[in-house]
Structure formats: structure tokens, C-alpha cells
Amino acid sequence: MGAGWAVDLEPTGVLPAPGRVRYSGCVQATMIAGLLGTLAAGSSATAPDPVVHAVMACPAATSEAHRPLLVKADEQVEAGQDAEAGRTFVAAFDAMDLGNQVGGTGKFTADRAVTSFMKAWEISQDVAILQEAERYVVRYLDVLDRGAQQGCVVDRKWGEDRLAEIRDLMPKEGEPEPEAVGPDAPKPKDCPAVPAIIGVDRVGVALVTVGASLFVAGTGLLVSGLVLPIDKPQALTITGAVVMGGGVAFIIPGAVRLGTWRRNKTRARLGVAPWTGRGLAGVTVSGRFGAWR
């Protein structure tokens, strides 16, 4: 307190009756003790309560609902279904408790989800998949902020780095989006599924080809029967002649079809001519049969 107190133990100057000595200092000391007791009682009654700071603890993880979804996502990755796997990893993350989401399990799941989305984008070049990955990473960072408010220790660096990487791959304003490829890409119209010969009768080509093959084979048998020193060459010669005749039977109608075929007011030109050589005989087929498309 600001005031000072003194104790005066000198006699009062008046002599009392014998056996009764009084000192004013005794009275003053008693008053001081009473005042100090009153002040102490008053201060203890009005003193503020001590401040207690409560420390929030990160919520404990108790749910296991995400584990079957992680198994399913791994199966989709093995099957090459990358976009579907990314979405399943996101579903597994959403099924976790906050403690798992902001911890190692959540970061592992987020990394697998983004990796699957990026792989799917590299194959298809579909910007919608990049946008899906971007939305998920932004939401992942929001979950980390919510966890930090509830006492969890979080690390935003991985999420911020991946978000920057995804946004760098996004088409800039005015830049055309890359064309989608893969099974989801639009297929061209009016495109034949298999190669086709145009400008010529395919049946005629087939007949001439088969006939020429038979004629050459028959010629080989016929010549072999004539020049080789074997027993009973007549059988080989007769067989060769029959096969040659079959070849001619195919060549003639095929040549007729090709000769009468018209495409864009033009005629297909075909020439068939026999040829012979020393100990050999055959047929030559020539012409313009069209083009492959």
C-alpha cells in the first residue's frame, strides 16, 4: 500500500496507578495488525482466477470404411482403368476420419488419386480429367486447413506442389485444347472398317488370281511328268493337264468380269497371254486392277 505505518512504544507521559502501565504503541500495533488482516482478506476475495489454456488434440482415427475402396482402386490400376481408379481413391479419402485424412494415410491416398488422374490424362489428353484432379487437390488442402484448426499437425507442401503442376498443364487462355485420343476419342465418319479395292471387280480379280495359280501349278506338274525320269510319268502329266484346265476355267470368267467392269466411265484393262520356255510353260496375266483404300 502507499501509506506507511509506525509503532510508537514511548510512554504517554502520564503515570497511571501502580500495577497498571499502558503504552500507546500496544494499541497502535493492534490496529496495524487488524488493518493488514482486512486488506489481505479483501485482496483474496477480489483476486482474478488463474488463466488455464486448453490444448486441442487432433481427432483420433477410428473408421476403417476406406480400406475396401483402396483395394478396389488398386485392382482398377492393375486393369488399366486409371480415371476410374483415381475416382475410387478419392472416394476412399472421403470415407476416412479427419485424423486419417490429414495424416500419412490420407496423403498416400491423395498421391495415388492424383497419379492415376495424371496417367489417364497423358493417355487421353482430356482436359476434363485435369480439371477433376485440380478440384480434388484444392479440396485436399481445405481438409488440411480444417485439421490444423482442430489441433492436427499438417503439411501443405505436397498438395501445393501438385496443384501447381496440374495448373501448369492446363491449356492457357486462347490456346486450343489438345484433341482427345484413346477409346473415348470421337471416331471419324464414313471410314471403311477394312481395306477395300476400288475401281475394279473384286470377284473378277479373285477368279483370275486363283485360275493363274492353278495354271502355274498344273504347268509344273505337266513339265515334271515330261522331263523327269520317273516311273509312270503319264499320271503326273495327266494331273498337271487337269490342274491347268481348272486354272483356265477360273481365268476366263474372271477375265470377262474384269473386261466388262466399269468404274467412273473407264474400263479395266486386262491382258492374258501364254508363255513358253525351255522345258517350261505358263500364262501371263497383266492389267490395272484398281487401288487400295
- What confidence score (pLDDT) does residue 137 get? 95
Q: Say how many residues make up the chain.
A: 293
pLDDT at 98 over 80: yes
pLDDT band (50, 70, 90) for residue 15: very low
Cβ-contact 125, 180 below 8 angstroms: yes
Amino acid at 8: D
* DSSP character at residue 66: T
Residue 211 scores a pLDDT above 80: yes
Taking all residues of the chain, what is their mean pLDDT, rounded to a whole number? 73
Interval 143-174: pLDDT, tens:
999 999 999 999 999 999 999 999 999 888 76
pLDDT tens per residue across span 23-32: 444 445 445 5
**What's the grid cell of residue 147?**
485439421
Instruction: Report pLDDT for 88.
Output: 96
Beta pairing partners, 273: 284
Confidence of residue 13 (pLDDT cuts 50, 70, 90): very low
Instruction: Give me the residues paired with residue 248 across strands.
Output: none
Please indicate whether residue 229 or residue 108 has the higher confidence score (pLDDT): 108
pLDDT band per the 50, 70, 90 thresholds, residue 232: low
Q: What are phi and psi of 274, to 5 degrees?
A: -75, 155
At 57 the pLDDT is: 79
Q: What does R_g of the chain's alpha carbons equal in angstroms?
A: 53
Contacts 24+ apart (CB under 8 A), 2-8: 5/32, 5/35, 7/32
